[in-house]
A and B are shown apart, each in its own frame.
Chain A
Amino acid sequence: MKQWWWKALGVLLLAYSIYFGLSTPLKPAIAGVNAGGQVRTTSGESVKVSVIGYNTDFRPGTRVLLKRGPLAYRAQNVKVLSPTELEADFRLLLGEKEANSLVFNLITVDQFHGFMEFDAALAVERSAGDTLASSAETGDLFAGVKFREDTGNTGLRFPYRNVLEETIRNLLLHVPQWFSMILLLLIAAIYSGLYLHRGRLIYDAAAKAFTMAGLLAGTLGTLTGSVWARATWNAWWTNDPKLNGVAVGMAMYLAYVILRASVDDRYNRARLAAVYNLFVFPVFIALIVVMPKLSAVSLHPGSGDSVNFSQYDMDNTLRMFFYPAVIGWTLIYAWMAQIQIRLDRLQIERDMRRMASNA
């Protein structure tokens, strides 16, 4: 164990990413209005909107407004029920020139959280005979609000996203599996090339071990993705192009394992496996990276019609742990592969000795 440092590095990076990935709180946010659904009301009628916060600390003095374009309408009355719950009364009148139905975002402003917005919180329909817009504010929404030093948005916090909620942490657990898998399979393909070039059995052993480690990462990526999909996309498995690509790709790598098992002669097996591996790796990459990007529709960020993760959900706080997680997982899988390679080396050397003593 001359070179143990990279194994220690792998453990440290993994511990770092998992510790902060699980312990960092989410930013305070408005999780919903009136238990999830959009509030519907008619013009001129009073409506009570209950606002549910996540990780919030609502206090008396919080302002609640409805916003549409440059206009904001202040609540007539705000009642803070608990740190995560408040009620606001609104009475909106649609102007003469406005559409018959308008949708508003809801905003809370206070000294602790600053400014929080919930999209499409309330829809107003026109009733007969109303012509006045009421109590519009167009000035500085923060006027008269004195901000505390320790506002809820400072410090180490992950972004809050609707639907994702706490599962945004899976970004640091599920996605690194795929990054690691691609790196491990790339290393395996390089060793396959080296075997064909040099013909040393240890390269075949390395190709096999890295492929198996990559398959483990892919399997764990699929399983964790399935659990994540159940909580966010509402299904264990969907017809997403990335999922279909992975299913076919994993089947192709399963064929690699079967191919190895079906050939007895060591050198024949090594050569066949190396050729097959060099063929299967680019096809696999095309299936799980290129095809989903080209497809029309995808639930996966960065594929099809979905916005890239790095543009939308990834922020600098997550990035601080995401790349270390990728390197950490890759090093741990490489360690797993290395032990198998060393066992293979022992086996090869023992067989060589036996052949020499039999001769």
Chain B
Amino acid sequence: MHIIKRLFLFAALLASPLRSRAADVAQTLRQDGKINTVLVVVGILLAGVVVWLVALDRRVARMEKENTHNGDKA
């Protein structure tokens, strides 16, 4: 049950622009044994992998476009 509560807190931290004032963020990061800090860290790592995937996707799209333009069917 604790995990669910923490996930809600994490979602609230990320989702609500009204709560995102620096003081509130600091407050949220501290409570409950600071577990939210760990969840934010996991979120950042996940975001990093997604950024790499987006870059890879764009690169493949560029190569596909080049191939059709040049009529290269290899």
Contact = CB atoms under 8 A, between A and B. Distances in A.
B17 to A, nearest CB: 19
A164 B67 CA distance: 53
A275 interface: no
Interface string A54-70: 10000000000000000
A227 B45 CA distance: 12
Interface residues of A, number: 34
B56 A220 contact: no
Interface in A295-334: 332
Interface in A205-256: 213, 216, 219-220, 223-224, 227-228, 230-232
A346 B70 CA distance: 15
A350 interface: yes
Contacts, number: 73
A192 to B, nearest CB: 21
Contacts of A220: 44-45, 48
Main secondary structure on chain B at its contact with chain A? helix
A357 B74 CA distance: 13
In this complex, the member of B26, B37, B40, B70 whose beta carbon has the largest number of chain A beta carbons within 10 angstroms is B37
A71 B44 CA distance: 49
Nearest to B51: A216
A81 interface: no
A164 B63 CA distance: 47
Nearest to B42: A173
A353 B74 CA distance: 10
B72 A354 contact: yes
A39 interface: no
B53 to A, nearest CB: 9
B48 A346 contact: no
Contact of B41 (A54, A165, A228, A350): A228
Contact of B33 (A54, A173, A347, A353): A54
Given A231-B29, A343-B59, A224 B45 contact: yes
Contact of A169 (B38, B45, B59, B67): B38
- What 10 pairs between A and B have smallest CB-CB spacing? A231-B37, A166-B33, A166-B35, A220-B48, A224-B41, A165-B33, A169-B38, A167-B34, A165-B34, A167-B37
Interface of B: 26, 29-30, 32-35, 37-38, 40-42, 44-45, 48-49, 51-52, 56, 59-60, 63, 67, 70, 72, 74
26 contacts: A22-B38, A164-B34, A166-B32, A166-B33, A166-B35, A166-B38, A170-B41, A173-B42, A216-B51, A219-B48, A223-B48, A224-B44, A224-B45, A227-B37, A227-B44, A231-B30, A231-B34, A231-B37, A232-B34, A336-B49, A339-B56, A340-B59, A343-B59, A346-B63, A353-B74, A354-B70
